[in-house]
Amino acid sequence: MLLDAPVRNTAAEDSSITSPSTTRNLLKMRCRALLLLLPSALAFELPFKVPNLFSRSPAPAQTEVHSSAASTPRIAVIGAGAAGSSAAFWISKAQDRFGLDVQVDVYEKSDYVGGRSTVVYPYGNTSLPELELGGSIFVTANKNLWRASDEFGLGRRDFSDEDESTGIWDGQEMLLSFSGSWWDTAKLLWRYGFLSPRRTENFVRALVDKYLTLYNSDSPKWDSVADLSATFGWTDFVNKTALEHLRTEGVSDKYINEVVDAATRVNYGQDVDYIHALEGALSMAANGAVGIAGGNFQIFEKFLNHSRANVYLKTPVVSIAEKSSSSHLWSVKSSSGTRDYRAVILAAPFHQTGIAFPPAVAEKVPPLPYLHLHVTLLATTAPYLNATYFGLPEGTPIPRMLLTSGQAARVGGKKPEFNSISYHGLIRDGEWAVKIFSDHALTDEWLAEMFQGQVGWVLRKEWDAYPKVPPTSTFPPVKLDRGLYYVNAFEPFISTMETETVASRNVVDLMLSDEFNSGICGRTISAVETDASEDGAQKPLVAPARQETTNPDNFVLGWDC
Ligand SMILES: Cc1cc2nc3c(=O)[nH]c(=O)nc-3n(C[C@H](O)[C@H](O)[C@H](O)COP(=O)(O)OP(=O)(O)OC[C@H]3O[C@@H](n4cnc5c(N)ncnc54)[C@H](O)[C@@H]3O)c2cc1C
Ligand SMILES: *[C@@H]1O[C@H](CO)[C@@H](O)[C@H](O)[C@H]1NC(C)=O
Ligand SMILES: *[C@@H]1O[C@H](CO)[C@@H](O)[C@H](O)[C@H]1NC(C)=O
Ligand SMILES: *[C@@H]1O[C@H](CO)[C@@H](O)[C@H](O)[C@H]1NC(C)=O
Ligand SMILES: *[C@@H]1O[C@H](CO)[C@@H](O)[C@H](O)[C@H]1NC(C)=O
């Protein structure tokens, strides 16, 4: 039995154990987070990727003849979550910088901005602190969200400061608990050794380093997620489970099956022997976790407010069809009518939109199951979970961040009845907010038992939260047809709020290049193009990126050029 009351031995904090904080940080996952804070020096030089779909018709927008009297070309964005709101924002950057003359319409079927990122209030009382119902956490390596919160003046709430104890329950036994003190760290090292946490951390750090090149001025651009993966050298391990791959990195099975599993289960609701190694490893990158005070959705509202887009809430798109094969326009039919667009950006999971697409488009996007997650938010006056449930003496303080491992079930034992239970601070004196993730609905009786009858308010929400991500080597297309783009093709690679804004930056660049001979930072696509000039000679058209920021440390591609 490894469960103990939290021990806080501050005197021993500067002990000679080599890296207590390494192990501690790896375990301090606050619900979900992505990507470590890292030194800005990057070790990788990327070859500039020239996507094979970046061929375009020579005529720029201004020279095209438009059928309507109002000749400003229109772009439709479908979805006002992280992906769609940021897409509108990126387009507005090109409007600001180059006077790109387009009109953007954002369609959103629900009545709010934010999609899978939205908040609720305990008891529906807006005087109480809000709770994130979906996407909660981002980290310093999430440069777009970080920059957005700076530029838009949105306050960040730091989760990594919280010093709550963390535990891992496997459905039968509390495998360990852990309060962040030296004593607990020593127990962790005893259980897993030093090498496994260290090797995992090194592996994750190298991944994040490579990921961060996506914010450099020479970031690769991609029309195929598989190509991007190959550029990073990740093809092989995205095609393996986290368990398979971490074994080859020399990480012990025990550490993978308990600690890494706890991370993949809380972040993606999927076990370490199922999830692909990229998503699995990134689940372990939780340093510097923050959220926006008042709700992350405000970033997405600000993206739209700072763009020049028209935003149509409560306006589901029902079909998209080619207007005519010669016009290169798409007819977008929504609940408020039909309008024609030069380009359409789909910023929602394809199969969840209910949109009727032309069969030739639909058949390019294979079915992609999403993980159906049950989120239970509640308010309780119980300071700790019911210890008896966990087979522990009554009154034992159960860790307030309780993660789970599926390992017992994998060897024929009992499965945990939930993925994670986490206390989220006081909502007022003597009453805490708690968030539970599970793969089924939790009954009132179950909650009453777990919180010893002390449950005030309960809210249940079911989400198709993120794709199921078994090992894969194929991804949905980024470009579905001429003028038709798909941001969420990125999700089976990595699914987070931040990466949706990175994927939308790429899609907007691709679209601007294809249709308007432009880009967020100008014509930065350095594909060598032929231009039939009078003398018949072929000359390359290459426009270098403009340098708008002088401080390379703070450079974030798209915000800066
Ligand atoms: C419980 C939970 C916890 C999570 N935790 C985190 C976390 O801590 N950190 C993190 O980074 N990520 C987290 N995620 C994932 C993150 O929320 C998503 O990856 C991200 O928000 C997806 O953004 P998106 O814009 O691509 O899609 P969505 O947010 O799903 O936006 C798509 C939008 O399109 C709209 N739409 C759909 N069909 C139509 C139509 N026909 N017409 C018009 N509009 C339409 C939808 O209403 C929706 O608003 C979590 C997700 C869940 C559910
Ligand atoms: C909402 O919460 C505040 C702060 O606890 C409280 O003063 C107020 O009475 C509550 N409002 C309602 C309608 O319960
Ligand atoms: C991915 O793994 C499968 C199954 O192991 C294998 O058949 C396939 O060739 C792999 N794909 C790539 C691109 O390596
Ligand atoms: C964005 O604009 C809308 C409409 O003007 C407003 O209701 C909303 O509060 C704004 N959001 C933010 C975060 O500024
Ligand atoms: C605590 O859990 C045990 C076992 O699951 C249950 O029998 C007991 O009733 C619970 N205690 C309370 C106060 O609900």
Domain coordinates of the chain in residue numbers? 74-116+297-369+472-522
Does residue 525 have a pLDDT over 80? no
> For residue 88, what is the enclosing H or E element?
helix 82-98
Cβ–ligand 1 distance for 303 under 6 Å, the answer: no
Identify the weakest region by mean pLDDT among 86-100, 132-146, 153-167: 153-167
CA distance 361 to 494: 23
Contacts of 190 (CB under 8 A, 6+ apart): none
CA distance 113 to 171: 38
Does residue 44 have a pLDDT over 90? no
Which among 400, 398, 404 has a CA at the least distance from the CA of 258?
404
The reported pLDDT for the residue numbered 176 is 86
CA distance 30 to 175: 19
* φ, ψ at 224 (rounded to 5°): -145, 125
Ligand 2-lining residues (CB < 6 angstroms) = 125, 127-128, 428
pLDDT > 70: what percent of the chain?
80
Each residue of 231-249: pLDDT tens digit? 999 999 999 999 999 999 9
Does residue 337 have a pLDDT over 50? yes
pTM to 2 decimal places: 0.87
The reported pLDDT for the residue numbered 336 is 95
Report which listed range, 56-70, 274-288, 401-415, is most confident: 401-415
Does residue 69 have a pLDDT over 50? no
Each residue of 170-195: pLDDT tens digit? 999 999 887 765 656 767 778 898 89
Ligand 1, atom 23, residue with closest C-alpha: 82
The reported pLDDT for the residue numbered 549 is 52
In angstroms, what is the span from residue 430 Cα to ligand 5's centroid?
Answer: 21
Average model confidence (pLDDT) for the chain? 85
Which among 207, 34, 279 has a CA at the least distance from the CA of 137?
34
Encoded tokens for 298: 């405000």
Identify the weakest region by mean pLDDT among 109-113, 288-292, 522-526: 522-526
Can you tell me which atom of ligand 3 is nearest the CA of 239? 1
More confident residue, 26 or 148: 148
Encoded tokens for 363: 């058949």
The reported pLDDT for the residue numbered 181 is 59
Region for 183 from its dihedrals, namely left if φ exceeds 0, alpha if ψ lies in -120 to 50, beta otherwise: alpha
The reported pLDDT for the residue numbered 178 is 75
For helices 143-151 and 497-516, the axis angle rounded to 10 degrees is 90
Residue type, 423: Y
Mean pLDDT of 26-41: 32
CA distance 209 to 197: 18
Does residue 34 have a pLDDT over 80? no
Q: Which string of DSSP letters, residue by residue, matches 55-68?
A: ---S--GGGS--SS
- In which residue are the tokens 């039968």 written? 172
Mean pLDDT of 464-474: 98
Instruction: Give the three-state DSSP class for 200.
Output: helix
In angstroms, what is the span from residue 463 Cα to ligand 1's centroid?
Answer: 9
CATH tag for 74-116+297-369+472-522 (out of 3.40.50.150, 3.50.50.60, 1.10.10.10, 3.40.350.10): 3.50.50.60
Each residue of 281-328: pLDDT tens digit? 999 987 778 999 999 999 999 999 999 999 999 999 999 999 987 889
Cβ–ligand 1 distance for 134 under 6 Å, the answer: yes
Q: How many CA atoms lie within 13 A of 461 on its CB side?
A: 18
Burial (0-12, 13-18, 19+ Cβ within 10 Å), 68: exposed
The reported pLDDT for the residue numbered 301 is 98
Alpha carbon distances (Å) from 239 to 51, 260, 307, 464:
22, 18, 38, 23
Each residue of 404-432: pLDDT tens digit? 999 999 999 999 999 999 999 999 999 99
Alpha carbon distances (Å) from 437 to 48, 266, 357, 460, 530:
41, 7, 34, 10, 54
Encoded tokens for 159: 């989760």
Does residue 528 have a pLDDT over 80? no
> For residue 512, what is the enclosing H or E element?
helix 497-516
Does residue 46 have a pLDDT over 60? no
* φ, ψ at 329 (rounded to 5°): -120, 150
CA distance 93 to 509: 11
Q: Tell me the ligand closest to 301's alpha carbon.
A: 4
Burial (0-12, 13-18, 19+ Cβ within 10 Å), 262: buried
Q: DSSP code of 521?
A: T
In angstroms, what is the span from residue 239 Cα to ligand 3's centroid?
Answer: 6
Cβ 330 vs Cβ 76: under 8 Å:
yes
Cβ–ligand 1 distance for 500 under 6 Å, the answer: yes
The reported pLDDT for the residue numbered 162 is 61
Which among 304, 359, 312 has a CA at the least distance from the CA of 335?
312
- In which residue are the tokens 């090498």 written? 195
Alpha carbon distances (Å) from 519 to 95, 381, 466:
10, 54, 29
Alpha carbon distances (Å) from 439 to 370, 411, 418, 433, 462:
12, 20, 7, 20, 9
Instruction: Give the three-state DSSP class for 297.
Output: helix
Mean pLDDT of 266-288: 94
Ligand 3, atom 11, residue with closest C-alpha: 473
What 150-154 contacts at long range (C-beta under 8 Å, 24+ apart), as own/partner pairs, is 151/559, 152/298, 152/299, 152/302, 152/306, 154/292, 154/293, 154/294, 154/298, 154/299, 154/302
Q: Tell me the ligand closest to 129's alpha carbon.
A: 2
Residue type, 401: M
More confident residue, 13 or 496: 496
The reported pLDDT for the residue numbered 550 is 52
Cβ–ligand 5 distance for 384 under 6 Å, the answer: no
Instruction: Give the three-state DSSP class for 77.
Output: strand
First to last CA, the chain: 56
Ligand 1, atom 48, residue with closest C-alpha: 115
The reported pLDDT for the residue numbered 386 is 98
CA distance 163 to 143: 25
Of the pLDDT bands very low, low, confident and very high (cuts 50, 70, 90), residue 551 is low
pLDDT > 90: what percent of the chain?
75
